[in-house]
């Protein structure tokens, strides 16, 4: 026994030396990749600055932005879970990354460890012709006819939730209610209804909501794929969610084969899919039910949390800018009278120019997904003096771009999007909330419509006031950005009666 302990004691100095060498090589590798870029001088072994990122993401990304702004290049560096990362403040460099999504340059990942969550064959990981073909087949899901079908459903769901919010008793201590979870639940019901409509049962919706919460929590945790950890729960939840959506795809295809009219997004997709199959004699574009279910989950993920973020910030900015709220109310009443019990028609929504300007300004000044992570598939020359090493996770900041170029970018000013000023055209390159390049959001019109409908109905039907506290409007990541206080408000019914449709 003594000889064993003696052997171990002899090995300890060698083991310590080996670990010290590994740590030294890790630091050297980080510094070699970082070169002259601003960022931490030294990083914690292996995990890097992951703990500070998870504990306070707002502070972490603010620091990366400050580093990047300190240099004319507009780029900063850091190290997380064994991965070298770059933060891109410069709008021109962000466009360069968005324009070079291809196998040998950048791979859009949606989340630093997204492939483990979403799977290898996700829409966001596609390139070239395969990606282009799929997007062309998704396009019929967002035609004016389809969008009108969706707006009718969106309004009915928004109305039911607004009515329930007014019936909800205020918090006993504050007399106000936080909107974040309420908006999230409303958006989850909206997404489920618009995307898969009648094909998801009440029991499936309940399980769906639980699994989606697992997914949301896992997004903000360390990527430890072991039993009991939030990331593992999220990955397994995504698998169950995709299976549920795949079953909806199969049911929709059966219905569309019978020649029925589309009533939700998957119906429009299956109708077009069946039409194409009937007209194509060779090599039709085929997807399995599970693959389509995975793409539906992409839509849900893209619309769900981003939309919740925008709705909350819309309420916050309308409250802090009463003159904007008044103009919205006046415009909406020109085209829609709640007592008429009619939904807002597509033509009426298109006429609400100022309401749309408010929606776009909300998205600009508080881009829901502040960054769009990519992985470098190969060494990439970003500038004349800097090459991004292969494997680097690159974070173009669409949030920072929103505060570049525009006139008084820190000011909430919907008029910048009106025809008289046309800042959306003059400064188009800085408006990156929906991305750019081949992976630009295919459902952005749907997203703007949803935000417009909520603003129009909330402003018209509800009286509200923020329950303001110190720091309530500070940014919190959940994972999209929301007001730190979850947008706590006092509210009451404003209209004489709620519409019935």
Binding-site residues for heme, in ranges, read 441
**Closest alpha carbon to 431 in 457, 399, 468:** 399
Instruction: Evaluate whether 303 touches 443 at the Cβ level (below 8 Å).
Output: yes
Query: Which residues on adjacent β-strands are paired with residue 489?
Result: 177, 466
Count of helices and strands (H, E) across the chain: 18, 12
Give the length of the chain: 501
DSSP symbols for 140-201: GGGSHHHHHHHHHHHHHHHHHHHHHHHHSPPPTTTS-EE-HHHHHHHHHHHHHHHHHGGGS-
Instruction: Evaluate whether 292 touches 272 at the Cβ level (below 8 Å).
Output: no
Instruction: Evaluate whether 494 touches 462 at the Cβ level (below 8 Å).
Output: yes
Cα-based distances in Å from 355 to 119, 297, 339, 359: 38, 29, 20, 6
CA angle (434 as vertex; 430, 438 as ends), nearest 5: 95
Detail the residues annotated as belonging to a binding site: 441
Residue 477, SS3 per DSSP: strand
Calpha distance 104→235 (Å, rounded)? 27
Instruction: Evaluate whether 111 touches 238 at the Cβ level (below 8 Å).
Output: no
**Closest alpha carbon to 479 in 269, 321, 308, 338:** 308
**Closest alpha carbon to 321 in 455, 183, 180, 491:** 455
Q: Which tokens belong to 454?
A: 């909520």
Instruction: Evaluate whether 361 touches 417 at the Cβ level (below 8 Å).
Output: yes
Q: From the centroid of its chain, how far is CA 235?
A: 18
Calpha distance 381→69 (Å, rounded)? 20
Contacts of 365 (CB under 8 A, 6+ apart): 313, 317, 402, 409, 412
Report which secondary-structure segment, H or E, holds 107.
strand 106-108
Residue 86, SS3 per DSSP: strand
Cα-based distances in Å from 454 to 76, 243, 264, 489: 38, 30, 19, 16
Phi, psi of 294 (to 5 degrees): -65, -40
Cα-based distances in Å from 247 to 241, 308, 324: 10, 26, 44
């Amino acid at each position: 026994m003594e000889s064993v302990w003696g052997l171990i004691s002899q090995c300890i100095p060698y083991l310590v030396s080996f670990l010290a060498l590994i740590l030294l090589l890790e630091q050297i590798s980080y510094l070699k990749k970082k070169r002259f870029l601003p960022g931490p001088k030294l990083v914690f072994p292996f995990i890097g600055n992951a703990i500070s990122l998870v504990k306070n993401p707002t502070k972490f990304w603010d620091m990366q932005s400050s580093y990047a702004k300190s240099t004319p290049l507009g780029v900063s560096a850091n190290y997380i879970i064994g991965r070298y990362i770059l933060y891109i403040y410069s709008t021109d460099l962000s466009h360069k990354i968005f324009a070079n999504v291809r196998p040998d340059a950048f791979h859009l990942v949606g989340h630093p460890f997204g492939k483990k969550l979403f799977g290898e064959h996700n829409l966001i990981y596609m390139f070239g012709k395969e990606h282009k073909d799929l997007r062309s087949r998704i396009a019929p899901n967002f035609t004016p006819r389809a969008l009108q079908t969706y707006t009718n459903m969106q309004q009915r769901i928004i109305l039911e939730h607004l009515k329930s919010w007014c019936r909800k008793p205020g918090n006993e201590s504050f007399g106000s209610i936080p909107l974040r979870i309420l908006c999230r639940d409303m958006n989850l019901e909206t997404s489920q209804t618009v995307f898969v409509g009648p094909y998801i049962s009440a029991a499936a919706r309940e399980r769906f909501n639980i699994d989606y919460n697992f997914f949301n929590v896992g997004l903000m945790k360390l990527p430890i794929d072991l039993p009991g950890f939030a990331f593992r729960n999220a990955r397994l939840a995504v698998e169950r969610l995709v299976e549920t959506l795949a079953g909806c795809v199969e049911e929709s295809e059966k219905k569309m084969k019978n020649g029925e009219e589309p009533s939700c997004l998957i119906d429009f997709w299956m109708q077009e899919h069946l039409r194409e199959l009937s007209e194509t004699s060779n090599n039709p574009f085929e997807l399995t039910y599970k693959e389509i279910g995975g793409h539906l989950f992409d839509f849900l993920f893209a619309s769900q949390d981003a939309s919740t973020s925008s709705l909350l910030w819309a309420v916050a900015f309308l409250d802090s800018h009463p003159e904007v709220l008044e103009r919205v109310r006046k415009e909406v009443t020109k085209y829609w009278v709640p007592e008429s019990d009619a939904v807002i028609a597509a033509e009426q929504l298109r006429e609400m120019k100022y309401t749309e300007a408010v929606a776009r300004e909300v998205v600009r000044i508080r881009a829901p997904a502040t960054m769009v992570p990519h992985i470098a598939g190969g060494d990439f020359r970003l500038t004349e003096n800097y090459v991004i090493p292969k494997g680097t996770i690159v974070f173009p900041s669409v949030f920072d771009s929103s505060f570049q170029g525009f006139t008084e970018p820190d000011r909430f000013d919907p008029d910048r999007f009106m025809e008289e000023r046309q800042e959306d055209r003059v400064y188009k390159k800085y408006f990156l909330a929906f991305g750019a390049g081949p992976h630009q959001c295919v459902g952005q019109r749907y997203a703007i419509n949803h935000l417009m409908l909520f603003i129009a109905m909330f402003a018209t039907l509800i009286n509200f006031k923020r329950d303001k506290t110190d720091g309530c409007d500070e940014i919190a990541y959940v994972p999209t950005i929301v007001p730190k206080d979850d947008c706590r408000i006092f509210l009451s019914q404003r209209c004489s009666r709620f519409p019935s449709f």
